[in-house]
């Protein structure tokens, strides 16, 4: 099943007939593969690792699939006839996507932007940089809008530092330098949930530690500030978050293993501790299912005497799931918004 934006693109497939196409920030469907019914070659770059996992089985000699915040080095100078951008849920990311698109376009190259009506795509004219022509609305279908534009002049080189916010964060473990790229949630202060977690870290942490949903790397950096000997693995599904985490670690002269994982699917072996402020937010219909799977896989991924500590919105239904997989529920601390759960195998 194609998402609504992908269906809108299919309706306008004449735009990329026999074209060499680059697709940026695609969604969890196989549009890139179906696009080959019109396009001559497709390269697809996912910013969400789950979306990459959905499409990558369809890769072949005319469909290249990648995950990350930019194309691999061997394609850094590659040019495409047409670049398609799916308007991101995090609106600030759109500027980055536009500049990234421009790096891979020749002058007069075609840009296609598609997004859901309620997802912010209507603001595309205000977001379009000067090196693109004014966007023209080509279609309004499937509750989506589709715009086209052309590259009119060369864009400046894409520097990650231009899209980076860096700030000092005070934590119970000391001051940290945090690096946050556009599209990654950050309040430039310690949020209540993470503060509750960091204020009650176990003092006996050792060995292999998993930071699930690492974001910009605040928790991992705090853990390493307290104990530089920890062997930490930072996972996230978001390419910009993973890049942010790597930059945060480097800014604090710290090292950890940073890699994408769709849930626990890319994780191997067991951990001495799983410490997390898991990214399950209000308003997501899948929140309960994701949380249940997280607890289930956490229980089977802990080594003997392993420590599991997470902070979560107090209204999320964790207690029954924790009891089912860990045997009992231990609320270590709480405030008016969050509960801190601790379990030791």
Tell whether 239 and 302 lie within a shared domain: yes
Q: How many CB atoms neighbour CB 41 within 10 A?
A: 17
Give the confidence band of 284 by pLDDT, cuts at 50, 70, 90. very low
**Predicted confidence (pLDDT) per residue in 293-334, tens digit:** 889 999 999 998 999 999 988 887 788 888 888 888 899 999
Among 112, 139, 156, the domain boundary falls at 156
Tell whether 260 and 211 lie within a shared domain: yes
Can you give the pLDDT at residue 279?
77
Q: What is the mean pLDDT of the chain?
A: 94
**Separation of CA 301 from chain center:** 23
Give the confidence band of 345 by pLDDT, cuts at 50, 70, 90. low
List the domain range (segments joined by +) for residue 120. Answer: 4-156
Residues forming beta bridges with residue 257, ordered by sequence position = 233
Tell whether 17 and 113 lie within a shared domain: yes
Q: Is the pLDDT of residue 33 over 90?
A: yes
Q: What angle do CA 305, 281, 173 make, to 5 degrees?
A: 50
Can you give the pLDDT at residue 293?
87
Name the nearest CA neighbour of 279 among 247, 323, 235: 235
Among 107, 124, 156, the domain boundary falls at 156
Torsions phi, psi for 215 (to 5 deg): 55, -135
CATH of the domain at 216: 3.40.50.150
List alpha helices for 12-149, DSSP H: 31-34, 49-55, 93-103, 124-127
Tell whether 242 and 139 lie within a shared domain: no
Averaged pLDDT, 57-77:
97
Tell whether 134 and 34 lie within a shared domain: yes
User: How far is it, in rounded angstroms, from Cα 49 to Cα 72?
Assistant: 15
Among 130, 156, 182, the domain boundary falls at 156
Pick the more confident residue, 329 or 272: 272
Q: Which of 49-63, 74-88, 276-290 has the lowest mean pLDDT?
A: 276-290
Residues forming beta bridges with residue 200, ordered by sequence position = none
Can you give the pLDDT at residue 281?
54
Tell whether 39 and 166 lie within a shared domain: no
Tell whether 197 and 247 lie within a shared domain: yes
Averaged pLDDT, 17-44:
97
Averaged pLDDT, 164-183:
96
Tell whether 298 and 174 lie within a shared domain: yes
Block residue for tokens 């849920």: 89
Q: Record the tokens describing residue 75, joined without a space.
A: 């394609």
User: First and final CA of the chain: distance in angstroms?
Assistant: 42
Tell whether 316 and 332 lie within a shared domain: yes
Torsions phi, psi for 241 (to 5 deg): -65, -45
196 close to 340: Cβ distance less than 8 angstroms: yes
Can you give the pLDDT at residue 282?
44
Tell whether 313 and 178 lie within a shared domain: yes
Averaged pLDDT, 279-306:
76
How many domains is the chain built from?
Answer: 2
Containing 235, the helix (H) or strand (E) segment is strand 231-236
Can you give the pLDDT at residue 117?
94
Pick the more confident residue, 168 or 329: 168
What's the Cα-to-Cα distance from 84 to each of 93, 143, 157, 334, rounded to whole Å?
Answer: 15, 18, 20, 45
Give the confidence band of 287 by pLDDT, cuts at 50, 70, 90. low
Give the confidence band of 43 by pLDDT, cuts at 50, 70, 90. very high
Can you give the pLDDT at residue 297?
93
Pick the more confident residue, 279 or 211: 211
Averaged pLDDT, 116-121:
94
Tell whether 289 and 229 lie within a shared domain: yes
Q: Which of 76-80, 117-121, 321-325 has the lowest mean pLDDT?
A: 321-325
Q: How would you write 138-176 as a 3-class SS string?
A: EEEECCEEEEEEEECCCCCCCCHHHHEEEEEEEECCEEE
Q: Directed axis angle between helix 287-301 and helix 318-326, to 10°?
A: 20
Q: How many residues are given for the chain?
A: 345
Can you give the pLDDT at residue 283?
40
Tell whether 172 and 311 lie within a shared domain: yes
344 close to 310: Cβ distance less than 8 angstroms: no
């Amino acid at each position: 099943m194609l998402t609504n934006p992908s269906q809108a693109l299919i309706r306008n497939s004449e735009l990329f007939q026999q074209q060499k196409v680059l697709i940026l920030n695609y969604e969890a469907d196989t549009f890139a593969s179906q696009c080959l019914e019109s396009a001559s070659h497709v390269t697809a770059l996912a910013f969400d690792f789950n979306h990459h996992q959905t499409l990558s089985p369809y890769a072949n000699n005319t469909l290249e699939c990648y995950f990350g915040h930019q194309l691999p080095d061997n394609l850094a100078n590659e040019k495409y006839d047409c670049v398609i951008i799916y308007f991101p849920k995090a609106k600030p990311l759109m500027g980055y996507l536009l500049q990234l698109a421009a790096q891979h376009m020749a002058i007069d190259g075609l840009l296609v932007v598609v997004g859901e009506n309620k997802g912010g795509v209507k603001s595309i004219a205000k977001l379009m940089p000067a090196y693109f022509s004014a966007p023209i609305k080509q279609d309004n279908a499937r509750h989506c809008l589709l715009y086209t534009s052309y590259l009119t002049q060369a864009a400046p080189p894409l520097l990650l530092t231009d899209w980076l916010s860096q700030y000092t964060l005070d934590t119970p473990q000391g001051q940290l330098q945090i690096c946050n790229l556009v599209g990654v949630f950050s309040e430039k202060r310690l949020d209540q949930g993470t503060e509750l977690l960091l204020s009650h870290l176990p003092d006996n942490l050792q060995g292999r530690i998993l930071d699930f949903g690492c974001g910009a790397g605040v928790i991992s950096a705090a853990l390493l500030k307290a104990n530089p000997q920890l062997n930490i693995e930072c996972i996230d599904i978001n390419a910009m978050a993973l890049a942010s985490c790597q930059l945060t670690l480097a800014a604090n002269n710290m090292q950890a293993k940073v890699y994408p994982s769709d849930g626990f699917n890319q994780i191997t072996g067991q951990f001495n501790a799983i410490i997390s402020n898991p990214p399950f937010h209000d308003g997501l219909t899948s929140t309960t299912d994701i949380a249940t799977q997280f607890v289930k896989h956490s229980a089977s991924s802990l080594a003997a005497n392993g420590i599991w500590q997470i902070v979560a919105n107090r209204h999320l239904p964790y207690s029954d799931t924790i009891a089912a997989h860990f045997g009992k529920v231990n609320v270590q601390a709480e405030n008016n918004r969050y509960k801190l759960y601790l379990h030791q195998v």
